[in-house]
Amino acid sequence: MKPLAGIILAILVSGCDSPHPAFSKVAAKVITVDGSTFRVRVRENMAEAIRTNFERLPKIGETFPKAAKAMEIASGCRVIPNSMKGDPALVMAKLDCR
């Protein structure tokens, strides 16, 4: 039973910081904003932020602004309003780099 539990745990943990396939070859920058830590990947005019720290009952309304700021810090670009999609663990957004 213990080996099975170990295998299941390994599978679950391996997905915690896996980027979207479009960002798979992009190096991540680790950015912390107001206590939330994100691994941010930027490709062309898109950004992906994966929250890597534990937060008890995270809410989208609190996480999205932090993720947006992390994306802006990592990219040097502005996050386009209303382009953010995702959940409290993984957020994607379009960037305006003009």
**pLDDT for 59:** 92
Burial class of residue 78, CB neighbours in 10 A (0-12, 13-18, 19+): middle
pLDDT in tens, 57-75: 999 999 999 999 999 999 9
What are the boundaries of each domain within the chain? 17-96
CB atoms within 10 A of CB 40: 22
Residue 2, pLDDT > 80, answer no
pLDDT in tens, 14-53: 445 677 666 767 889 999 999 999 999 999 999 999 999 9
Bigger pLDDT: 71 or 3?
71
User: Strand pairing of 36-43 and 46-51?
Assistant: antiparallel
Q: For the chain, what percentages of helix, strand and coil (3-state, to nearest 5) are there?
A: 35, 30, 35
pTM exceeds 0.85, yes or no: no
Q: Do the beta carbons of residue 87 and residue 54 sit within 8 Å?
A: no
**pLDDT for 13:** 44
State residue 89 phi and psi, 5-degree precision. -100, -35
pLDDT in tens, 5-15: 555 544 444 44
Considering Cα of 60, then 38, then 67, then 95, what sign does the dihedral take? negative
**pLDDT for 26:** 83
**pLDDT for 55:** 93
